[in-house]
With several copies, the nearest count.
Chain A
Amino acid sequence: MSLEPQELEDLKSKIGREPTSTELQIVAAEWSEHCSYKSSKKHLKMLPMTGPLVISEKGYDSGVLDVGDGYVITAHIESHNHPSAVEPYGGAATGVGGVIRDILSAGTRPIAIFDGLRFGDIEKDQQARWLFKNAVTGIADYGNCLGIPTIGGEVEFDECYSNYALVDVAAIGFGKKENLIKNHANKGDLVVLMGGSTGRDGIGGSQFASDSLESEDRSAVQVPDPFIEKLVIEAILEARNHNLINALKDLGGGGLSCAVSETADTLGIGIEMDVDKVHTKESGMHPDEIMVSESQERMLIVTNKKKLKKLQEICKKFSITCSVIGHVTSGNLMHVKKGAKTFANISTDVVANAHLLDRPSKKPAYLDAIQKEKKLKPITNLSKTLMRLISSPNIASKIWVYSQYDHEVGIRTVVKPGKDASVLRLDNGKFLSAKIDGNPKQCYINPREGAIGCFEEACRNVVCTGAKPIGMLDHLQFGNPEDPEIFWTFLESLKGLTDFAKYFKIPCIGGKVSLYNETPSGPIKPTPLIGVLGLIDKKPLIPQKVLDGDSLIMIGDTKDELGGSEYYEYIHKFIGGNCPKVDFAESKKNMKSVLDLIKKQLLKVCHDCSKGGLAVAASEICMTNQIGCQLSLEKVPGEKLSDDKKLFSESHSRYLAVIDKKNIKKVEETLQKNKVSYKTIGKFTGNKIQFNHGKNTVIDLSVDKAQKAWVSSLGELVTHG
Chain B
Amino acid sequence: MATFSVHVTIENKPGISDPEGDTILNDLVLKGTHKNISKIKTAKMLKFTIQEKDKKTAEKKIQEICDELRIYNPMVSKVTIDVFE
Contacts and interface: CB of A to CB of B under 8 A. Distances in A.
Interface of A: 86-87, 89-90, 130, 134, 199-201, 218, 221, 223-225, 227-228, 281-282, 319, 719-721
B16 A223 contact: yes
A400 B72 CA distance: 23
Nearest to A223: B17
B27 interface: yes
B16 A201 contact: yes
B23 A221 contact: no
A228 B73 contact: no
A719 B19 contact: no
B54 to A, nearest CB: 30
- Please name the 7 residue pairs, one residue from A and one from B, whose CB atoms are nearest each other, closest first: A225-B19, A223-B17, A87-B75, A130-B70, A86-B75, A221-B75, A720-B27
Nearest to B17: A223
- Name the prevailing secondary structure of the A interface residues: loop
A613 B28 CA distance: 36
A678 B18 CA distance: 56
A719 B19 CA distance: 13
Interface of B: 12, 15-19, 23, 26-27, 31, 70, 73, 75-76
B14 to A, nearest CB: 10
Given A223-B16, A223-B19, 14 more contacts: A201-B16, A201-B17, A221-B16, A221-B76, A223-B12, A223-B18, A223-B76, A224-B19, A225-B17, A227-B19, A227-B23, A282-B15, A720-B27, A721-B27
A719 B17 contact: no
Given A227-B23, A719-B27, A87 B73 contact: yes
A319 B19 CA distance: 14
A224 B18 CA distance: 9
Given A130-B70, A721-B27, A721-B31, A228 B15 contact: no
A134 B17 CA distance: 19
Contact of B17 (A87, A199, A721): A199
A87 B76 contact: yes
A281 B21 CA distance: 14
Contacts of B17: 199, 201, 223, 225, 281
Nearest to A216: B75
9 contacts: A86-B75, A87-B73, A90-B76, A200-B15, A221-B16, A223-B19, A225-B17, A225-B19, A282-B15
A130 B75 CA distance: 14
Nearest to A131: B70
A319 B23 CA distance: 11
Given A720-B27, A721-B31, A201 B15 contact: yes
Contact of A218 (B12, B18, B19, B75): B75
B32 to A, nearest CB: 9
A218 B16 CA distance: 11
Nearest to B26: A319
Contacts of A224: 19
